[in-house]
Amino acid sequence: MKVEQIYTGCLAQGAYYITSHGEAAIIDPLREITPYLDRLKRDGVRLKYILETHFHADFVSGHLDLSRATGAPIVYGPTARPGFDAIVAEDNQVFELGKAKIRVLHTPGHTMESSCFLLIDEDGRETALFSGDTLFLGDVGRPDLAQKAANLTQEELAGLLYDSLYTKILPLSDDIIVYPAHGAGSACGKNMMKETMDSLGNQKKVNYALNQPSKEAFVASVLEGLLPPPAYFGGNVAMNKLGYDNIEHVMERGMSALSVADFEALAETSDALVLDARAPGVFAQGFIPRSINIGLDGDFAPWVGTMIVDVKQPLLLVTDPGREEEAITRLSRVGFDHVLGYLEGGFDAWKASGKETDEVKRISANEFARQFSTEESLIVDVRKESEYAAEHIEEAYSRPLAYINDWIQDLPRDRHFFLHCAGGYRSMIASSILLARGYRNFTDIEGGFASIAQTDVPKTDFVCQSKVSKK
């Protein structure tokens, strides 16, 4: 028996590939299925089951394409109502895989159909728990996503999650390995560890949610400090539950190379948004006017989902030449299937054609320190609230990027302001949005707070983020 974790860092997502005596199961696969098909061929095994821990909100699963390609059935936990053929298992139902077994543990709370899969080896020993979004390392799944569908409050869902954890998970053996669906950086929890696997025994010791004195205390601690979920989550749930276009069709459409003239014409005659996926520093030096920058070398897909929201939004891509396929693939992972094509030759082709360009006014942290005045400088900090609370420039305003649509109208148009994040990635996203909406009275600080902290610009006393984060 073999268990392989296939972890995708930009989504902080773990899929799992399990084999035993010629048969395989895949848990929570990503949208692109070629890596799984390659593994099946390499190992000479037959895919027997595609196991889904729940209807995912933060990414589009590859369950449908994988089932079409292999004939393997898709398995959900109790109460799931998918819009396609699937096995809806009963609680404690056992599925045989070679000489191993997989038991379904229905663990509602994150969503109503949420389930964990308990792996039992050929000797009958319970060895691993694939815990989905029910149990993370250091945290548990947020209980506020399924309120509308379940007709329950987040408090009631948190109560169900407590029952699931304390009656189904905690009684299991300490030496069981926990394989969660997500790790640190995912919006599906608030306090996840950077590790991607751990023993259940250790989680019983260190996970705050598993050490509450009562159900009431558990509900309060899990809900405290829970930020609103990214707005694109609903679109991903619908795609996972009802179906989506074949990934090959999505890739074929997106990989349409467009000349400068065709790109410009399509941008002007369609509702498409120009998405520039180049690095922030490169984008700042020149870009197509009104395009939005979200760099590939960062949390690209989650920020696309957070900023653009509507998964049906048509997109036109600008990337570094050769990275178009990567961008389209990563967009498809979060349901953005409507890429109309990409600019052939990238921005250099646009610039060489003599078309209009724009740029972001950007200065170094040292130059900012020379220009800074406590009394006169207006500073907008687009980091998360917890980052701001840990340490920030004195008198700076906290305006998290994720909520830019809520605060952008409050920015002055007749007064200059400085803009920064932690390292420059998020502030460039904000800069591109500001410019697209007509704001030109600002300067972005290269290197963000990490560079500012090395200057003599006055800052608040540092407080460890773990102490200011809500648990």
**Residues linked to residue 99 through DSSP beta bridges, in sequence order:** none
- pLDDT score recorded for residue 103: 98
Q: How far is CA 399 from CA 186, 365, 383, 405, 406, in A?
A: 20, 19, 7, 10, 9
Q: Which of 330, 298, 332 is nearest to 401 (CA)?
A: 298
- pLDDT cut 70: percent of the chain above it: 98
Neighbour tally for 398: CB within 10 Å? 16
Identity (one letter) of the amino acid at 236?
Answer: N
Would the pLDDT of 77 be above 80? yes
Q: Per mean pLDDT, which range of 282-291, 344-353, 367-376, 422-431 is the poorest?
A: 367-376
Position 162 confidence tier, pLDDT thresholds 50, 70, 90: very high
Q: Which of 227, 215, 220 is nearest to 187 (CA)?
A: 227
d(CA 213, CA 177): 25
Residue pair 14/129 in contact by the 8 Å Cβ criterion: no
In the chain, the N- to C-terminal Cα span, in Å, equals 37
Would the pLDDT of 465 be above 90? no
d(CA 182, CA 299): 14
pLDDT, averaged across the chain: 95
| Three-class HEC string of 416-450 | CEEEECCCCHHHHHHHHHHHHCCCCCEEEECCHHH
Mean pLDDT, range 245-261, rounded to an integer: 96
- pLDDT score recorded for residue 464: 64
| Three-class HEC string of 85-122 | CCEECCCCCEEEECCEEEEEEECCCCCCCCEEEEEECC
Q: Per mean pLDDT, which range of 55-64, 140-149, 380-389, 449-458 is the poorest?
A: 140-149
**pLDDT tens digits along 203-251:** 999 999 999 999 999 999 999 988 888 899 999 999 999 999 999 999 9
Mean pLDDT, range 52-65, rounded to an integer: 97
Would the pLDDT of 26 be above 70? yes
Mean pLDDT, range 131-145, rounded to an integer: 95
**pLDDT tens digits along 311-347:** 999 999 999 999 999 999 999 999 999 999 999 999 9
Residues near 49 by beta carbon (within 8 Å), at least 6 away in sequence: 25, 26, 72, 73, 75, 95, 97, 102
- Segments in 99-246 forming alpha helices (H): 147-150, 154-164, 200-206, 215-223, 233-242
Q: Which of 211, 152, 270, 272 is nearest to 471 (CA)?
A: 211
Q: Which of 172, 17, 164, 183 is nearest to 78 (CA)?
A: 164
Greatest pairwise CA separation for the chain in angstroms: 73
Position 466 confidence tier, pLDDT thresholds 50, 70, 90: low
Neighbour tally for 372: CB within 10 Å? 19
pTM: 0.91
- pLDDT score recorded for residue 10: 86
Position 470 confidence tier, pLDDT thresholds 50, 70, 90: very low
Residues near 369 by beta carbon (within 8 Å), at least 6 away in sequence: 452, 455, 456, 457
Cα angle 66, 342, 338 (rounded to 5 degrees) comes to: 45
Position 461 confidence tier, pLDDT thresholds 50, 70, 90: confident
Would the pLDDT of 34 be above 70? yes
Mean pLDDT, range 6-28, rounded to an integer: 96
d(CA 427, CA 192): 25
The rounded Cα 249 to chain-centroid distance in angstroms is 23
Local structure of 144: helix, strand or coil? coil
Neighbour tally for 342: CB within 10 Å? 26
CA torsion sign for 285, 397, 233, 56 is positive
Would the pLDDT of 471 be above 70? no
Would the pLDDT of 304 be above 60? yes
